Amino acid sequence: MGTVTKALELLDLFTRERALIGLSDLARLSGLNKATCFRMMTEMQGLGLVEQAGPSKAYRLGPAVLRLAALREAAVPTRDAAMPVVQVLARETGETAHLSHIVGPALRTLAFAYSSAHGTRVMMEDADLLPYHATSSGLAVLAFLPDTVVDSLLATALPAFTAATVTNPADIRARLATIRATGWSETHATFEADVRSVAVPLFGASGACTGAIAIAAPAARVTPALHARMVAGLMRAGADITTLWGGQLPPAVKAAWAIAA
């Protein structure tokens, strides 16, 4: 493995719950030697990518990442462009809408919006990781990813997050076939209990799948009428965002969405 990859995987250890990490923890979590971690963190600190904070000298992400993100959004306004669509979707359905994005090998939440229609709602957090096999967004993306990616994912051990999580590769493959035909995916308490979620895939300029947009609601609230509105809204939002991103819907998806609408 390259040195750069190791250093940047160190950055991936930072999460919302674990914003500060000490040197020893960093070494334990990454499996790298403490000296290696130290040299890398020192180097990245010099570039402003991380900084040391607090009473101990624990590390956290530094201000340089803000500059990089500002430049990325200036070049490719992924998030800013899609945000209004996500908000409209949340308002029209009265439920939580969220947008996710393939980053490296994982699917991450990029943006989300709540509705104020109900006192209870499904909560989200930015930059969270979504498992492919247990979320509607994950399945929507997986259905339109190359077979090689699907094969290698299904070859690994799939964790069960709830009693309802589907972990059998054959069952998942069957669901993917359905999703390819209908153009949307659905899960039922497979990631979090009592949550029902529907998603559609999003596509980039080359026609490859780059992410998904989804709506998540408390299961008890999802009537057939609401479900229909969710699917219809997602198809429109999916087409809109794909256009905003300069992407192109695969013919099969375009046909599936046109028939349903």
Partner DNA sequence: TGCATATGGTTCATTATTTGAACCGTTGGT
Partner DNA sequence: ACCAACGGTTCAAATAATGAACCATATGCA
Chain contacts with a second copy (rule: CB under 8 A): 2-5, 7-9, 11-12, 14-16, 19-20, 39-40, 43-44, 46-49, 53-54, 60-76, 78-79, 101-104, 108, 110, 126-127, 205
Question: Residue 23: which of DNA, a second copy, none does it interact with, CB under 5 to 8 A by kind?
Answer: DNA
3-state secondary structure 197-216: EEEEEEECCCCCEEEEEEEE
Pick between residue 17 and residue 157 the one whose CB is nearest to DNA: 17
Examine residue 4 and tell whether it contacts DNA (CB under 7 A): yes
Q: Which does 149 bind (CB under 5 to 8 A by kind): a second copy, DNA, none?
A: none
Residue 36's binding partner among a second copy, DNA, none (Cβ under 5 to 8 angstroms by kind) is: DNA
Beta carbon nearer to a second copy, 76 or 177: 76
Q: Measured between alpha carbons, how far is 86 from 75 in angstroms, rounded to an integer?
A: 21
- Please name the amino acid found at residue 182: T
Residue 204: HSE in the Cβ half-sphere, 13 Å Cα cutoff: 11
**16 contributes a contact to DNA by CB under 7 A:** no
**Interacting partner of 177 out of a second copy, DNA, none (Cβ under 5 to 8 A depending on kind):** none
11 binds DNA (CB under 7 A): no
Rounded Cα distance between 45 and 39, Å, is: 10
Q: Residue 58, SS3?
A: strand
Binding residues among 22-41 for DNA as defined by CB under 7 A: 22-25, 32-36, 38-41
- Least distance between DNA and beta carbon 104 (Å): 17
35 binds, among DNA, a second copy, none (CB under 5 to 8 A by kind): DNA
How many residues can be counted in the chain? 261
Measured over the CA atoms of residue 17, residue 19, residue 25 and residue 28, the dihedral's sign is positive
